[in-house]
Structure formats: C-alpha cells, structure tokens
A and B are shown apart, each in its own frame.
Chain A
Amino acid sequence: MDYNQSDELAQLQKLSNEYSPEAEGPLVSERISSSAITTEYANGDPVYQIKTAALPQKYSFYRTCRGDGHCGWRAVAFSYFEALQKTGSKQKFFEEETRLRSLANLFLALGHPEHVYEDFAEETYSLLRTIANTNDDGETLLATFNDYGTSMSIITHIKLLTSAWIQTHPEQFAPYVVPQTIQEYCQRSIEAANCEIENVGLSALADVLVKPAGFAVEVLYLDRSPGEEVNTYRFDLTDQHGTVLPASHTLRLLYRPGHYDILYRPEDIPQPIEQPPVFVNLTSTMSEHRPDFHGMAGRDDNLAIPGMSFAFPHQTNWAFNPLYDLPSAPVPTVSQAVPVPAYVPLPVPHQELLPPQSIPMEQPISPPVSQPQPSSIGRNGPFRPCTYEFEINHSSVSLPVFQTSQFKNSHFNVAHYNNPDFQPEAWNPNEEYKHTERSRRNRSQ
C-alpha cells in the first residue's frame, strides 16, 4: 500500500515537474518600452519592485522572447543579427558568413559528417545574405525570427556550434560541468532539442559566435538577491592578457530565473537618418499658434538636473503626438509596426525647408486642455517613445527653451516643497503622467 502510494506520488511529482504551460506570444516581439517590466512587478515582491523600478532609466526598451525553452538561444541569435545589421556594412555580413563556414572545422574535428549540420547552417547563411541586402529597420529580421522553422534551424545551428566549441576546448569548460563529462554535458544540455541555455553554454556561445564578430554580451540578472539594481554580468572581448577591448556593440539580455529577454539602452536604438520634415514644420507652427505652449511644454534642457527628468516626462512633446499617427502625415522612413518613433527634432535652420502650406491645417489645433489624450498609440507602457527621443538627442538638439529653470526651481513647481500641492518625485509610471500634466497646465493658465 505504502509502496503504491509513493509510486503514485512519484508519478504525480514527475508529471508536475514536466508540466509547462503552453508558451505564448511571438517568438521575438516588437521592441517595447521597458517600463512594462516595472509595471509587471508593481504588485510583486519588493526586491523585484526596487530592481525593476531602476531598470527603465538605463534600459529603455526590451523585446520579449517566447518562453518555449529556447528563449536564451533565440535572444542571443536575434541580437547577433540585429547587431550586425546595425553595423550597416555588407562586408561585415560577408565576413561573418565566411567565418561561420570556416567553423565547419570544429565539426570536422569531432567527426560530425556534413549532413548533421548543413541544413541548419544553410538557414543562418541565407539570413546573413538576406539581411545584408535588406535596407530596413529590422522588419525582415523580426519576421524571419518569427518563422518557427527558420528560427529553430538557426538556433539548432548555433547550438551545434556551441557544443562543438565546448568539446574542442575541454580544458576551458570541463571544470564547470563536473560530474558530467564534456560529451555528456553537450549531449544533454546543449544539443538536445529541448534544453535552455545555461551559463556554460552562454559563455561558449559568446566565444564562438558573438565575440569574434566584435560584439560583447551583457546579462542582467533579475532575481531575488539583495540589492537595489539588477546584477550585471558581462562577456567582454579581451586580448590575450585579459584586458577588455572595446566592443562595437553589446548584446544585452535580461535574465529572470528560467527566462531570457532582450534589452536595449537608449543609445542602442538606431535613429533614422532621414527626417520626416513635416514634424519640423509642426514644431514651429505649434509654437506660433499656441502662445501658452511656451509656458509649459519646455524643452527639457533641465533634464541635466538629476531627478528632473521625471518631473515633466510628457510635457516635452504632448503636442506632437496626436499628429504622430496621422495617416495623412508622410512618414516615409518608419513603419508603424516598429515602435521606434521617427520623430527627432531638427536644428532650427531646417525649418525653412518646408513651406508652411504643407501643414495639414484642418488638424484640430485646440487649446491644450481639450487636447485628446493620446493614451497609448499601440505601444506598451505609459511613456511615449518620443519622450525618450528627447532624452537621447537632448545634447545635440537646439530647440528654443520654452521653460525657464527659474520656474522649475520655484514654488510653482509641484516638486518644490513650498508648493501647496507638493508632490515628491516618487516616480509612478501609471499615474504621474496624466495627473501632473493636468494639474500643472491648469495652474499655468
């Protein structure tokens, strides 16, 4: 009886261990604001709350990867291709294809016949060639990685490469896989179809795929360990003395126990070079037609003041947003599918490039209070991306300063302790947005 019971329990335990909910979502998602991560943990464990609250300041965007047991491999593979595309050099893709093809030597050394890997490798080479000849903002890459067969082929290829690299560098990896042998480890934890990347695998993958391309890898560990920020671990390029060499690009991963996503710093995000000029014109028009604009929607030159960046996250550009998604507005460079805003303020001289007639005058230019609140334009998170654009380009842009620092430092500012509605700058992504915008606007009129 007891025996049967324990048998049954063992069976149940086994089932429970093997249970995994059906993974959902795209294999690789669009780039979204990382404040979504903060929101996700807003009601969670305090350690996570603190750590995620600090995250969006440094890492403004992220992409989710489907948690189907391959997300770590997929995150690295995707970021690798994305980094290559950011180099903007066809030559680089050619070099990488040549280099990866030459890694067949690793397979040869292990006695793998060509048919073991060729089908999978071919998908990688083919994507390298496709992206090299594609001039887009990453739509092709994203679509390819969301094709299950292709992305799994590429993942299988890099897994085989990783396994071969570990097996041909036993002295480097053997100590980390005891009590298993290198071969056992590779069979079970790298080559098996259904196994997530581990630290040994990630280290080897960085060695074989990422570093030789001139890229570094950075992993942010978001776990319950004490501390106020996520722990960061880097796989850097080094010379033979261990000196860190500069990387042309860093692949950033967010690790939460059992899962990997892709992170971006603001400077990682490519800026479209060609500006949609209509926005420039709107900028000048806005300020002409709305005297009150000067008073409130300041260019955040005051962002340089620590902490002030969150005092007016929305006011910098609220006026442009209703026009951002207008179908009539020509937005040549950016597809709506990608949540990277095309809007980047131009230096003043460019304004005369466009005659004012081209402004869609039928656009409702109404007092700001009745301005429709563009809640979320198909993006996640309370921050509209253009807020970030201001921050990113802050130093290089010379728009007129609408707001004096005098105001910001005065008691009219709710952030000032003398203000009757004094509100310390505890940043809350959900509420601060609407609340402070309204209250300030009313006051300044």
Chain B
Amino acid sequence: MSAPTKRIVKELTEITQNPPAGCKVRLPDESNIYNWEILMDGPADSVYAGGHFKIALTLPHDYPFKPPSINFRTKIYHPNITNDDKGAMCLGMLRPDQWKPPNKLMAVIVLIQNLLSKPEPDDAVEQGIADAMKNRRAEFEKTAREWTGRYAGR
C-alpha cells in the first residue's frame, strides 16, 4: 500500500471509530477511499439547527499534498458556500496556498462545523448572502432556517 493510501485509511479509521459530535462519515463506494460522504447535523446553536447536511469530501490523488475539496450536496443558505449545484466551500486551510500536508481530515470536519456555527461574511463566496447576514440579520436568519427546513429535513 502506498504511503498516501495508508494515510487515508488510517484517517478514515480514526474518524469512523471516533467521529466528531453530530457527524457520520462513510464511503459511498467502499472500493474508492478518495470519495467520502459526511452527514453533518446543523449545530444546535446555529440557524442550521435541525438540519442534516450531506457533504461530499473528495481527496485529490496527491493527497495529502493537495487539499481535499468540500461540496455540500444539500442546499444551504450560507455566505461561505456557493449557492449552485456544486455547493463548494473553500476557505482557510482548504485553500491551496494555505493547505499543509500534516493537516488532518478530522480538522477539516471541525472547520466545517465551526463554519456552520459562525459563518464568515467577510470571506464570502456568496456576496448577497453575506450582505444580508451583515446588514439584515433577521432576514438572513429567517431565510437560512427556511432553507434548512425545506432542503435539509430528514
């Protein structure tokens, strides 16, 4: 087994045995360890509470020397996640110029959770949602909860 594969298997084992609270990780295709699926509960203290979000975590073939990519398969109203069919999230340690090979996927999952609890409108990919969050907070929260109920229910 090559070194990168060994590392991925090791990380997967750690995470499935001891997943972060409110998260489940599985492989949609057992033979492909590069595509992970994360089921994440919306953090209780956030506007996404009660939602269950399906997230695809894709590892590049040169992982861990390139960052994983994160795509929300469940539609979400969030300034840092693209509001399109990709649902891409790319900030902080996930940026190619900030990624460090020693970073662990556990830290990536925790980053996603933190970002659901505290979106970062100053580093937004959806400028409209960021403006709403900064300037029309009540409207932002209402829409976010609505979307959570509509798209991220059980």
A160 to B100, alpha carbons, bound, how many Å? 10
Beta-carbon contact of A119 and B3 below 8 Å: yes
Are B102 and A156 in touch, CB under 8 angstroms?
yes
Cross-chain contact A192 with B3 (CB below 8 angstroms): no
Among A147-155, A231-239, A272-280, A386-394, the one that faces the other chain is: A147-155
Partner of A116, one of B62, B66, B98, B102: B102
A residues less than 8 Å from B7 (CB atoms):
119
* Most chain B CB atoms below 10 A, which of A148, A152, A193, A194: A193
11 A–B contacts, CB within 8 A, in A order? A119-B3, A119-B6, A120-B101, A123-B3, A150-B3, A152-B62, A152-B101, A153-B3, A191-B102, A193-B67, A194-B99
Check A193 against B96 for contact (C-beta < 8 Å). Answer: yes
CA distance A160 to B3 in the complex (A): 18
Distance of B126 from chain A, by nearest CB (Å): 16
> CB-nearest residue of chain B relative to A116?
B102
- Contact with B65, one of A116, A156, A188, A195 (Cβ below 8 angstroms): A156
For the residues of A in contact with B, the DSSP-based class is helix
Interface residues in A271-324 by Cβ distance below 8 A to B read none
Most A CB within 10 A of own CB, among B3, B62, B97, B104: B3
Interface contact A148-B62, CB-CB below 8 Å: yes
User: Which residues of chain B have C-beta atoms less than 8 A from A173's C-beta?
Assistant: none
Asked if A160 meets B98 with Cβ closer than 8 Å, knowing A193-B66, A193-B67, the reply is no
Return B39 CB to nearest CB of chain A, in Å. Answer: 26
Contact status A152-B97, CB under 8 Å: no
**Interface residues of A, Cβ cutoff 8 Å to B:** 115-117, 119-120, 122-123, 148-150, 152-153, 156, 160, 188, 191-195
Q: A193-B66, A193-B67, A193-B96 are in contact. Are A149 and B3 (CB under 8 A)?
A: yes
B interface residues with partner A (beta carbon < 8 Å): 2-4, 6-7, 62, 65-67, 96-102, 104
**Do residues B101 and A156 form an inter-chain contact, with CB atoms below 8 A?**
yes
B43 → chain A, closest Cβ, in Å? 26
Asked if B99 contacts A149 (CB within 8 A), the reply is: no
Complex Cα spacing A119 to B102, Å: 9
Q: Which of A123, A192, A195 has most chain B Cβ within 10 Å?
A: A192
Q: Across the interface, which residues of B come within 8 angstroms of A194, CB to CB?
A: 96-97, 99
List, in ascending order, chain B residues with CB within 8 A of A148's CB.
62, 65
Extra contacts besides A192-B98, A193-B66 (17): CB < 8 Å: A115-B104, A116-B102, A119-B3, A119-B6, A119-B7, A123-B3, A148-B62, A149-B4, A149-B62, A152-B101, A153-B3, A188-B98, A192-B99, A193-B99, A194-B96, A194-B97, A194-B99
Q: How near does chain B come to A95, taking the closest CB pair, in angstroms?
A: 24
Cβ-closest 5 pairs across A and B: A116-B102, A156-B101, A152-B65, A193-B99, A149-B4
Q: Is the CB of A193 within 8 A of B101?
A: yes
Q: Is the CB of A117 within 8 A of B102?
A: yes
Across the two chains, which residue of chain B brings its CB closest to A112? B102
Q: Which of the residues B4, B6, B100 comes within 8 Å of A192, measured between beta carbons?
A: B100
Closest Cβ neighbor of A148 among chain B residues: B62
Contacts of B6 in A (CB 8 A): 119
Q: A193-B66, A194-B96 are in contact. Are A149 and B2 (CB under 8 A)?
A: yes
Q: Which residues of B contact A150 (CB under 8 A)?
A: 3
Q: Give the interface centre of A122, A150, A152 by most chain B CB atoms within 10 Å.
A: A152
